[in-house]
Amino acid sequence: MAAAPSDGEGSADIDTGRPHPARVYDWFLGGAHHFPADAEFGTRIVALDPTAKYGARHNRWFMQRATRHLAGAAGVRQFLDIGSGIPTEPNLHRVAQDIAPEARVVYVDHDPLVRVHAAGLLSGTGAGATAFVEADARDPELILERAAEVLDFARPVALSLIAVTHFLTDEDGAHAIVARLLDALAPGSHLVLSQLSGDEETAWVGEAVDRYTTGGVTLVPRTRAQTERFFTGCALLAPGLVQPPDWRPGLGVGEVRDGTLVPLHAGVGRKE
Ligand SMILES: C[S@@+](CC[C@H](N)C(=O)[O-])C[C@H]1O[C@@H](n2cnc3c(N)ncnc32)[C@H](O)[C@@H]1O
53 Cα: distance to centroid of ligand 1 (angstroms): 16
**Residue 4 burial (10 A CB sphere; 0-12, 13-18, 19+):** exposed
Lowest mean per-residue pLDDT among 13-17, 49-53, 91-95, 105-109: 13-17
**DSSP letters along 160-221, please?**
EEES-GGGS-TTTTHHHHHHHHHHTSPTT-EEEEEEEB-SGGGTTHHHHHHHHHHTT-----
Give yes or no for residue 39 CB within 6 A of ligand 1: no
H-assigned helices in the chain: 21-28, 36-48, 52-71, 92-99, 112-116, 118-121, 140-147, 174-183, 205-214, 224-228
C-alpha to C-alpha distance for 267 and 234, rounded to whole angstroms: 11
Average pLDDT (178-187) is: 98
**Mutational pocket test of ligand 1: of 15, 167, 194, the residue with most ligand atoms within 8 Å of the beta carbon:** 167
Query: Residue 180: which of 130, 147, 140 has the closest Cα?
Result: 140
For helices 140-147 and 174-183, the axis angle rounded to 10 degrees is 30
C-alpha to C-alpha distance for 91 and 63, rounded to whole angstroms: 9
Determine the 3-state secondary structure of 57 from DSSP.
Answer: helix
Given a cut of 70, whether residue 1 has pLDDT beyond it is no
Give yes or no for residue 87 CB within 6 A of ligand 1: no
Determine the 3-state secondary structure of 112 from DSSP.
Answer: helix
Q: CB–CB of 205/49 below 8 Å? A: yes
| Per-residue pLDDT at 16 | 84
Determine what percent of the chain is predicted with pLDDT higher than 70.
95
C-alpha to C-alpha distance for 121 and 87, rounded to whole angstroms: 6
Give yes or no for residue 26 CB within 6 A of ligand 1: no
137 Cα: distance to centroid of ligand 1 (angstroms): 9
pLDDT band at 2 (very low <50, low <70, confident <90, very high): very low
Give yes or no for residue 83 CB within 6 A of ligand 1: yes
Q: Which residues does residue 222 pair with via DSSP β-bridges, in sequence order?
A: 197
Element (H, E) at 87: none
Given a cut of 50, whether residue 6 has pLDDT beyond it is no
Given a cut of 60, whether residue 251 has pLDDT beyond it is yes
How is the beta sheet containing 104-109 ordered, strand by strand? 129-134, 104-109, 78-82, 158-162, 190-196, 264-271, 234-236
Given a cut of 50, whether residue 258 has pLDDT beyond it is yes
Lowest mean per-residue pLDDT among 6-10, 57-61, 134-138: 6-10
| Per-residue pLDDT at 136 | 98
Ligand 1 atom 8 nearest Cα: 162
| Per-residue pLDDT at 120 | 67
Domains annotated on the chain, with CATH: 21-271 (3.40.50.150)
178 Cα: distance to centroid of ligand 1 (angstroms): 14
pLDDT in tens, 143-171: 999 999 999 999 999 999 999 999 999 99
Given a cut of 60, whether residue 71 has pLDDT beyond it is yes
HSE of 12, CA atoms in CB hemisphere, 13 A = 0
